[in-house]
Every structure is written in C-alpha cells, then in structure tokens.
A and B are shown apart, each in its own frame.
Chain A
Amino acid sequence: MPVTREARPAGGAFIDFDPQATSLEIRGFGLRYGDKPALHDLTLRVPRHRVTAFIGPSGCGKSTLLRALNRLHDLNEEVVQEGEIRLEGQDIHAPEVAVAELRRRVGMVFQAPNPFPMSIYDNVAFGLRLQGGLRKRRLDDIVEWALHSAALWDEVKDRLRASAWSLSGGQQQRLVIARTLAVGPEVLLLDEPASALDPISTLKVEELIRNLKASLTLVLVTHNMQQAARVSDYTAFLQNGELVEYAPTDTLFTNPRLRRTENYITGRMA
C-alpha cells in the first residue's frame, strides 16, 4: 500500500491512502453543539478492512467524530456540522441517502452493552426483522452465523430463548456485536467497547475485533492506549477537537512525529 506523508498546516500529519483502499473519507469536517465547538476541520481517510483507532484525552471529540460517521447526531437539534464524510465515495449527508439504510451499512457498538429486553434470538434478529421479508429458516441461519461471528454461539446455543439480560456483561457486549453484524454492515464503529468489561471479556472482544477485520472496516474509539496498540492497524490522535497525528499504529507509538503526541502516549499530559 503506497503511503505518503504530508505535513499539515495545523502541525498534524495524515496518511493518504490509495482511494481504492479507502472506506470512509472525512474531509474538512467540523462540528459544534450550539455555540460550543467540538471538532475543527478534520481530514482523514479510514482504510478498508483494517482497524483504525481514535485515541485522545477525554473530551477531545473522538466519540463525537465516531457518532458523526453514522449520523447519530441527527437527533440532536443543536448540532451543526460542516465539511463532508464519504462512504465508498458517496456523501452520507446527501439528500438521497436514507439514514436508516446508512446505519445498516455503518453499524455501531456502544460503550455500555445495550441489549434490548427480549430473548437472545430476538435481539440478534431485531435489525433483520426491521427490514422484513425474511423467512424463518433464513432468519435462523443468519442469527446462528452472526452469533458464530461474534464468538458467542457456543455459550448461548442452548438458550436462545432466554432473556438477553441474563447474560454477563462481556457476553452482552458480544451479543450487541452479533446483533450489529446480523444486518451485514460494511463498517463497524466501536465506541470504547471494552471499557465496561472485565479483563478476560476485554481480551475476548479484542480478539473478535482482530478476526472481524477480514470482512469489515473497523473504527475503534478507546482511551486505553495498550488496547489501541494491540488491535489497531492505524491510529489517529485527537486533541481539543483537532487531528494531531495520524499514522500506522507501530509508527505512532514508537516514533511519533510530534511532541504533543509523544507527551500523550508517554503519559506526560499536562
């Protein structure tokens, strides 16, 4: 993959992928809540079938950016956005894009597990049933496939009708991932998916993330730098709503270009 580096006026850095290998392209993107600015003029490309991590201190806007990628900000009337975000070359804010369809293509997993108060099976089938038109047999197959993909099948195959709330936290989070995978997304957004989990469950989720990149583009927000180092291929460092540095993970952690990045990853933040 040809990687070129280019200095940015803001002092940051970014990787310019081959457009063929780009899944999401963020160009000049800014966002504010009413009068409160949250993101300024972000430009970066997210590579297809790779894991890209957003790191940065609390309040730096990494979750805000993630939520912009499947238009979850639409509900908040205060949010004002500028610039563009393109998924496979198409602007996601274009009028012809149906937001429900976009969210099926760009799935999202939240910080705390949020299974619905239904059975395990119904949770996984939820998104499919919204689309409708699937036969029972086909639905069964997809549910089983999704639970396999989320490495949960063996633990729940005998109690698919049990309430999803009877699962442990780690299982719930994998169930949520299975639920998201069932609708067949191209991109999976993960907002600190392991921060509410114990270490063993965290390892399971991380392993799952590594396995999923064979078929999906993953974007991971985390405040755990070890985690970013363990699972991601590329890492973007954000601070105060700006993109500071964006590089392959190995490079960013071992040889950061900027002092600000180095201070953050070595824990010398003011």
Chain B
Amino acid sequence: MRWWRRESGRARLPRGEGPWAWLSAGSVSLSLLLLALLLGLLVSRGLGHFWSADVALVTLQDGRQLAGRAVREAPLPGGSGRERLYRTGNRDLDGAIWDWVALTAIRDVDYPQELVVLERRRWSEFIGRLVALAPEAGPRLEGEAAWSALEERLLELEARREAIRELREQTILPLVRRLEREGESEATQALAMAEARVAELRASLAGASLVLESVSGKRLIQPLEEVVRARRPNAMTAFDKLVAWGQDVWRFLSEGPRAANTAGGVWPAIFGTILMVMLMSLLVTPFGVLAAVYLNEVAHQGRLTRLVRIGVRNLAGVPSIVYGVFGLGVFVYGIGGRLDSWFFEASLPSPTFGTGGLLWASLTLALLTLPVVIVATEEGLARIPHRQREGALALGATRLEMLTRVVLPMATPAMLTGVILAVARAAGEVAPLMLVGVAKLAPQVPVDGDFPFLHLERKFMHLGYHIFDAAFHGGDVQAAMPLIYATALLLVLVILMLNLTAIFLRHHLRSRHGTLSSY
C-alpha cells in the first residue's frame, strides 16, 4: 500500500523537477495574491468613499431614532451578538459622528426619501431633514420648494466661490508678492480694490440660512454659505449616484484640501509630487550618466575605480532619512542660507532659500537616487559590444565621437531603466522630504503666471506626506480613513503613470532599430 501511494505521488510531479517548481510557483502566486489584496483594499476603500450610499433611518427598541450610513459590523464585546457602526454626522448636534448600535437593539430600518446629507465646511456632514430655507429677504420656503431652491442656491454659491478663488490666486497673491518685493503705491491701490471686491462677493454669500432638523428632533439654523453640497441619496437612482460619484472623484482630484487635510481634494499634492519627481529626474539623469561614463569609459580600471564603484553601490543602501538630514544641513542651511545672505538680504530674517523648498527636496532625492542611475547606466555601457566601439574608431572617430554617437545612444534604454528605478524610489519617499521642504498645507502650487513661473524656493505638498499627515495629525482618524485610502491609491497610480511614461519612452527608443538580435 505504502509503495503504491509513493508511486502515484511521484507520477503527479514532472520528473526531475521535484518540489522546487512547486515552491517557486507558490511564492509567485503568493506575492501576486498579496499585491492584488493591497490594490483591492485601496480601490474598494478609497473609491467607495465617494459613493453616495443610502442613508438608513434606524428605529431602536426604545423608540430612539438615528440616521446614518452603515460602515461596518463587529462582534459585541463579551460574546453574544454583533454591533454595527453608523456614521451619523452632526458633530455640532451630537458631539460625535459615530454611533455603535447592537443589532438586537434595532427594531426597524427604513430608507425614507426625504433624508438629506449636507456637506459643510465645518462640523463635518449633516444628516437629517430639511425643514425650510430662509432667504435674505422674502418668505421662507418649505418642503419640496425648499429643496429645489437649495439646489439652485448651491450652484450660485459655487460660482461665486470660484470667482473669489480666482480673484485671490490671479490678482491678490501676485500683488502681495509684488508689494513684498518692491513696495509700490500703485500695487497697494490695486490690492485694496481687489480686496474690496472679494469682501463684496463674500458678503453676497452670507444671509440665507437653512432650518434643519435631525431625526432625533434637534433643530439647527445652518448658514447657507457653509454648505458645500446637498444630496438626498435615498432619492437618487443608480445613475444619479454614478454621476455624483464622478463629480466627487473629480473634486477630490482637482480641489485643495479642507478641514486640516481630512476632507476636500488633493490637487496641490498631486501636482507637487509629479513636479518634484520630474525635477529630480532632470537633476539626477545628467549627473548619473556622466558619472557612469567616467567610471566605465574614462577612468583607469584600477583599484581606486573599483573602490569608488563599491562605494556608489553601497550608497544605494543608506536610509533615506540620512539623506534628509544631509539635505537639511548642506542644502537648506548651508547653501540656502548662503544664497539668502548674498541675494535676498532685503527679505531677511524671513528666509527665501534658507528653508525647505522644492529645489532642495528635488536635489536631496536626486542625491538619494543617484546610485541607482549610475549603476544602471554603467551596466548598459558595459553591455555594448566591443566591436561597436572599434567600428566607430576604425572609421576615424575620436573617443568622444565614439561615445556620443555610438555608445551613448545604444546605452539610452539602460539609462532610462535607471531613471525608471529612480522615479519609483523617489516618488514613494516621505521621510527625507519632511526635513527639506514638504508642507502640511500649501494650496498654492509652485507654478504660476508670476515671474519666474516655477518657484523653486516654495514649499510644496506631497501625496505621501499627505497620507502621513491625515493619518497622524488629523482630529478624527476614523473619519479621514477613506481619504487616506483614496490618497494612497492615487499615489500608487501616480507612480505607475510616471513609470509607464518612462517605459513607453524606452520601448520607443528600442523599437526604432528593430530587434537587437546581435546585441
């Protein structure tokens, strides 16, 4: 019996491969599974946040009512039964936005159409009923009329807010910067005019208010200017919800953050991340390539070169925070402080380059990724066949001509591989950035219409730091969690996009000359 079982067991495995094939296949599937899990979690939690889920009206056994969205369930402490977490909003009325309810305590769950969800600038969202809309003048509107008037008013408000934002970014901020530099009277006048216009627009926002009532019967007068969006999820069709989802995702991508980074959008962070990585690539590529060319083509291949090469390879393993400290000490305080005392004396003691900024962050990350680019380029150079070099020399090329016309073009895909690896590493780094220029809140992106257009000295926002900040410095981590997931997903997508760009570029370069059969 025993030998028979062994025989049949052996027959199932390909002869000669043994357990190794299974082990290696197993580890591949395990890593794929973990990766899929990670992405699945980010996608479901992150994108699910923008879905206008139905709002439940829960009636408890004791007659108390609450309205909210079910978030998750957990077993009751102590054993029997489960409890459900509802996000009920109304921090201003109830003091908290969460409510745990034991399943056994629920008498009835209903989804009445008239429940509204208002997203507000303060106190998180309101969930309850709309009683009336009180305009600045004229009679109060109630019932269905109040709802349609509210929708109309919100569109109008949105337009005015947009006008204010535009005025501030395109007129006021440039004027303020000009004043700081020159102190002209003409700018002062223009500034006063623009500010008066903003105050006027602001005033036109105020006035109207809403009368709201929570399902537990508490009433609230809500100034309309603080309401961002109003929805009645239970009355929306699936298509309506999809449209609303699209709008919310778009807002997330295109707007600045609100409420201490726990709500609103992440546009400045997306922009900051991409700009910083691009600057980093621009800085690291020429340095890395030149260093690799020197090590591989120019330097005498002796003990010293070997030592330098080992040193470069080991630099890739230095923890990134060490680079952050170096950047802070050398770039920010050393070079930046020196620059300030030479060129920006007028604005001292407030630093210009003597504090963290886009330039120093890019430089620090360029330094961090330099070894990767050097190693990849060197490997590319070493792989170019000797006969290609001799071919160029035999045609009367100098060594420089050989290098620039034959060797470097052939090594370009390898260089791009190095840049791809560098981008992948740099886009995900957060630790060194905290020391050399990332900001918790910098809604102004470092590129604008104000000379010199790209402001290297400004602080910037970064997706990775945004995640860290929302997770550890926000008031209510539970509330910020979906946004953290969404931001994490976005960070992964941004890195993917940056990498794909470089990969397409490399593929294009490679395919230009057909298959490299003999290469």
Contact = CB atoms under 8 A, between A and B. Distances in A.
B303 to A, nearest CB: 15
Contact of A104 (B300, B395, B514, B517): B395
Nearest to A113: B518
Which of A72, A77, A118, A183 counts the most B-chain CB atoms under 10 A from its CB? A118
Nearest to B515: A165
Contacts of B391: 110, 114-116, 176
B406 A116 contact: yes
A103 interface: yes
A107 B395 contact: yes
A140 to B, nearest CB: 19
Given A114-B385, A127-B397, A179-B395, 18 more contacts: A100-B397, A108-B390, A108-B394, A110-B387, A110-B391, A112-B518, A114-B387, A114-B388, A116-B388, A116-B392, A116-B405, A117-B410, A117-B513, A130-B396, A131-B396, A165-B519, A180-B395, A183-B395
15 contacts: A75-B393, A100-B396, A100-B397, A103-B393, A104-B396, A107-B394, A110-B391, A110-B394, A115-B391, A117-B519, A126-B392, A127-B396, A163-B513, A165-B515, A183-B396
A103 B398 contact: no
A101 B394 contact: no
Interface string A140-173: 0000000000000000000000011110000000
Contacts of A127: 395-397
B513 A165 contact: yes
A66 B516 CA distance: 29
Contacts of B519: 117, 165
A70 interface: yes
B200 interface: no
- What are the nearest 6 A-B pairs in CB distance? A127-B395, A104-B396, A108-B394, A114-B391, A114-B387, A163-B513
A117 B394 CA distance: 16
Contact of A101 (B392, B396, B405): B396
B409 interface: yes
A58 B144 CA distance: 99
Interface string B495-519: 0000000000000000011111111
Contact of B390 (A114, A126, A163): A114
Nearest to B516: A165
B401 interface: yes
Contacts of B409: 117
A90 B409 CA distance: 36
A100 B406 contact: no
A165 B397 contact: no
Most A-side CB within 10 Å, residue of B388, B515, B518: B518
A188 B127 CA distance: 89
A131 B397 CA distance: 9
Interface size for chain B: under 10, 10 to 19, 20 to 34, or 35 or more residues? 20 to 34
A118 to B, nearest CB: 7
Contacts of B395: 103-104, 107, 126-127, 130, 179-180, 183
A113 B210 CA distance: 83
A111 B387 CA distance: 9
A149 to B, nearest CB: 16
B394 A180 contact: yes
Contacts of A108: 390, 394
Contacts of A110: 387, 390-391, 394
Contacts of A166: 514
B468 to A, nearest CB: 45
Contacts of B405: 116, 126, 130
A183 B513 CA distance: 24
A108 B518 CA distance: 20
Nearest to B509: A117
Interface string A80-116: 0000000000000000000011011001101111111
B174 to A, nearest CB: 49
Contacts of B392: 116, 126
A118 B516 CA distance: 11
Interface in A49-80: 70, 72, 75, 77
A112 B512 CA distance: 22
A163 B516 CA distance: 10
Contacts of B515: 165
A103 B396 contact: yes
Nearest to B412: A117
Contacts of B388: 114, 116
B404 to A, nearest CB: 11
